[in-house]
Amino acid sequence: DQQVKQNSPSLSVQEGRISILNCDYTNSMFDYFLWYKKYPAEGPTFLISISSIKDKNEDGRFTVFLNKSAKHLSLHIVPSQPGDSAVYFCAAWMEYGNKLVFGAGTILRVKS
Amino acid sequence: NAGVMQNPRHLVRRRGQEARLRCSPMKGHSHVYWYRQLPEEGLKFMVYLQKENIIDESGMPKERFSAEFPKEGPSILRIQQVVRGDSAAYFCASSDREGSGNTIYFGEGSWLTVV
């Protein structure tokens, strides 16, 4: 049972434009969310996080939005750069949980 | 390098052999997590350990897999009698505390190939 879902396997965006990566979750006990970026043959790298008590968190070109009522979050990258091309994973902690639950990932390709 | 260190980066084993993957957490971190990524799939939780204790092993296969995090030395993920289906990337992560609100930091991974 996939509790964290990234329904778009891939996304292609022109350099300089906005990239929007989406993530849905099913368990209302999730209370902290993170995004990781992963290049081939490397480990995931932490990007940005958001607590369930907030609806937005911004760090440079990266902004994460959380809609608790819809159980939906999104990662916005503006402006997108070719170096952003990677797999992006959404992940969630359950309140009192011991593990970070990951989505299946979305491949982002930024074309120059 | 103060990051999470994993070795070996690549490991080839014949069916039936044992695989041992090692993970040294970031300095100051005492919480270790192991994840597995099968080809074309996402990251699946395997086990969460603190020093000398297995806290959550709900993602570990019931047989052939074991993990430890001794008082001294790295965490070890051990796979006995490997089969082709064990071929995957195994990622270790660490953190300085437990539970929600926590950021875990990953190593570069160990790629196991079973031939």
| Residue range A37-96, pLDDT digits in tens | 999 999 999 999 999 999 999 999 999 999 999 999 999 999 999 999 999 999 999 888
Instruction: Render pLDDT for B74-94 as a digit per residue (tens, 0 to 9).
Output: 999 999 999 999 999 999 999
Beta strands B10-13; B110-114: pairing state: parallel
Closest approach of A84 to chain B, Cα-based (Å): 18
- Phi/psi of residue A102, each to 5°? -105, 150
Mutate to test the interface with A, among B29, B43, B46, B103 (most CBs of A within 10 A): B43
B39 and chain A in contact, CB less than 8 A:
no
Q: Which of A20, A37, A45, A43 is nearest to A88 (CA)?
A: A37
Structure tokens at B111: 């790629």
By the 8 A CB rule, do A107 and A13 touch? no
B42/A98 Cβ within 8 A: no
DSSP letter for B99, please: S
DSSP-based three-state secondary structure for B85: helix
Task: State whether A43 and B4 contact (CB < 8 Å).
Answer: yes
Residue A1 banded pLDDT, cuts 50, 70, 90? low
